[in-house]
């Protein structure tokens, strides 16, 4: 609310007029405007609340309305706007018009100032970003815009860093007593700790730069080995390991590029990973190569003949024996889980229908028990020493069979005497008619 009142120094007291002003925004900054001077009145102090266009327009409208009601207003106009008070002391219409013009000029100047400050702030932020990017590029140079191949100089430099890092890692592995600290590691290789850290940092940066630069080469090789037991992500990972292994052995003095040399290392790493990790039960490397040839020949013959080829036809194509082709085809089958359900609807698993070992079958266990009883009945017809020698000789009741010399040492007999007693006992058993009962247990 703005209140307009006449000063008692120049004219009689006028009735107070209250004018409702337009509400201003939340932030109002008070600025001092130039003082207005008059020949018939003292210097007037003018405080201006600006930097907000709505507040300035509302003030101008209040001044115009006050000029229409009190044309001869000679004192100030006081205004309270929440955060501060603005006092106007008007003398003439000319002075009020000048005040409105100054308000508009200040508004334009303040708007231009805001624009200049905003542009300066944006320029400062942009320069900070550019400076940070420049520092990052100077520090590691590991984030290129696109994955492009390295130059010959960069290949030689990064390969040398990888070789130095590999040499330090090999030295660390030779310290077998315990995991060495950085100081112990530096002493073992004859370097200072700062130099050791710098070499390791360069090796890490070179490894990352090579991996990023030749990622497309690794992906192009890995895609040709999909569907052989490993996912594409695993193939790319193994190919990257082969790339770094080849970069450590790369010799730039021979004239060829790193991509040409590392191609075979990438391919070998992927093939070896498929052979070692694609199966639950690992097969030897030579067997995997032969299995791959058989699978390729089987695919070609199936397309040509329109049916599954026989083992003879596959053997003619790969140049192997039919028995070898059959054996490798059987051994290369993927394993099946014993907990696999037989049907989609039922709950019976494969483990429940597979028969157990022969020894665990009930009829086999019963037959063994009956045969043991018959043998004990036959041994009961012999003397105690003869039955004891036979039990030691053939290893009854799960014992280890013994030789005649060992039995002789136990009984204080010679080896020849033990052999004679054994022969006499077997002759007696052959003459007993009940031995025919054991024929039913013989296969």
Per the listing, tokens 């039960």 go with 281
Instruction: Report pLDDT for 360.
Output: 67
Q: What is the mean pLDDT of the chain?
A: 71
**Through-space distance between the first and last CA atoms of the chain, rounded to whole angstroms:** 120
Residue boundaries of the structural domains of the chain: 2-113, 152-278, 287-331, 365-441
Instruction: Report pLDDT for 314.
Output: 92
- What is the 3-state secondary structure of the chain? CEEECCCCCCCCCCCCEEECCCCCCCCCEEEECCCECCCCCCCECCEEEECCHHHHHHHHHHHHHHHHHCCCCCCEEEEECCCCEEEEECCCHHHHHHHHHHHHHHHHHHHHHHHHHHHHHHHHHHHHHHHHHHHHHHHCCCCCCCCCCCCHHHHHHHHHHHHHHHHHHHHHHHCCCCCCCHHHHHHHHCCCHHHHHHHHHHHHHHHHHHHHHCHHHHHHHHHHHCCCCCCHHHHHHHHHHHHHHHHHCCCHHHCCCHHHHHHHHHHHHHHHHHHHHCCCCCCCHHHHHHHHHHHHHHHHHHHHHCCCCCHHHHHHHHCCCHHHHHHHHHHCCCCCCCCCECCCCCCCEHHHHCCCCHHHCHHHHHHHHHHHHHHHHHHCCCCHHHHHHHHHHHCHHHCCCCCHHHHHHHHCCCHHHHHHHHHHHHHHHHHCHHHHHHHHHCC
Q: Name residues whose C-beta falls within 8 Å of residue 35's C-beta, 6 or more positions apart in sequence.
A: 43, 44, 45, 46
CB 290 within 8 A of CB 331: no
| CA distances to 2, 162, 187, 188 from 179, in Å | 82, 22, 14, 13
Instruction: Report pLDDT for 344.
Output: 77
CA distance 398 to 196: 65
Domains 152-278 and 287-331 agree in fold: no
Instruction: Report pLDDT for 209.
Output: 86
Could you say which residues of the chain have pLDDT below 70?
1-115, 117-148, 175-179, 356-360, 433-443
- CATH number for the domain formed by residue range(s) 152-278: 1.20.120.1810
Instruction: Report pLDDT for 6.
Output: 41
CATH architecture type of domain 287-331: Orthogonal Bundle (1.10)
CA distance 100 to 90: 12
- CATH number for the domain formed by residue range(s) 365-441: 1.10.10.10
pTM: 0.43
Instruction: Report pLDDT for 54.
Output: 53
């Amino acid at each position: 609310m703005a209140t307009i009142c006449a000063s008692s120094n120049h004219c009689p007291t006028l009735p107070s007029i209250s004018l409702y002003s337009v509400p201003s925004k939340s932030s109002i900054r008070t600025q001092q405007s130039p003082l207005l001077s008059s020949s018939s009145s003292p210097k007037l102090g003018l405080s201006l609340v600006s930097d907000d266009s709505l507040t300035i327009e509302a003030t101008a409208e209040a001044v115009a309305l006050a000029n229409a009601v009190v044309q001869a207003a000679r004192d100030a106009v006081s205004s309270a706007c929440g955060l501060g008070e603005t006092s106007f002391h008007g003398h003439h219409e000319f002075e009020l018009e000048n005040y409105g013009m100054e308000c508009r000029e200040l508004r334009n100047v303040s708007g231009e100032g805001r624009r200049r400050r905003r542009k300066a702030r944006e320029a400062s932020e942009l320069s900070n970003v550019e400076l940070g990017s420049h520092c990052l590029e100077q520090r590691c140079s590991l984030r290129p815009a696109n994955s492009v191949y390295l130059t010959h100089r960069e290949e030689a430099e990064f390969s040398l860093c990888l070789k130095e890092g590999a040499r330090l890692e090999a030295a660390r592995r030779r310290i077998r007593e315990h995991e060495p600290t950085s100081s112990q590691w530096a002493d073992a290789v004859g370097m200072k700790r700062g130099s050791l850290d710098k070499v390791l940092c360069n090796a890490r940066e070179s490894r990352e730069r090579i991996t990023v630069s030749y990622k497309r080469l690794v992906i192009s090789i890995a895609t040709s080995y999909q569907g052989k037991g490993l996912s594409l992500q695993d193939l790319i990972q193994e190919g990257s390991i082969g790339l770094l292994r080849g970069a450590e052995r790369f010799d730039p003095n021979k004239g060829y590029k790193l991509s040409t040399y590392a191609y075979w290392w990438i391919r070998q790493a992927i093939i070896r990973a498929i052979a070692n990790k694609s199966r639950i039960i690992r097969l030897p490397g030579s067997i995997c190569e032969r299995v791959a040839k058989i699978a390729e020949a089987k695919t070609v013959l199936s397309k040509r003949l329109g049916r599954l080829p026989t083992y003879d036809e596959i053997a003619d194509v790969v140049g192997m024996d039919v028995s070898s082709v059959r054996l490798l085809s059987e051994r290369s089958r993927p394993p099946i889980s014993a907990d696999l359900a037989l049907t989609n609807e039922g709950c019976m698993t494969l483990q429940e229908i597979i028969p157990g070992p022969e020894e665990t079958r009930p009829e086999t266990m019963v037959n063994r028990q009956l045969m043991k009883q018959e043998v004990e009945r036959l041994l009961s017809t012999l003397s105690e020493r003869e039955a004891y020698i036979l039990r030691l000789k053939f290893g009854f009741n799960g014992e280890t069979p013994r030789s005649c010399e060992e039995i002789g040492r136990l009984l204080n007999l010679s080896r020849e005497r033990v052999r004679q007693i054994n022969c006499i006992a077997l002759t007696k058993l052959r003459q007993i008619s009940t031995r025919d009962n054991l024929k039913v247990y013989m296969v």
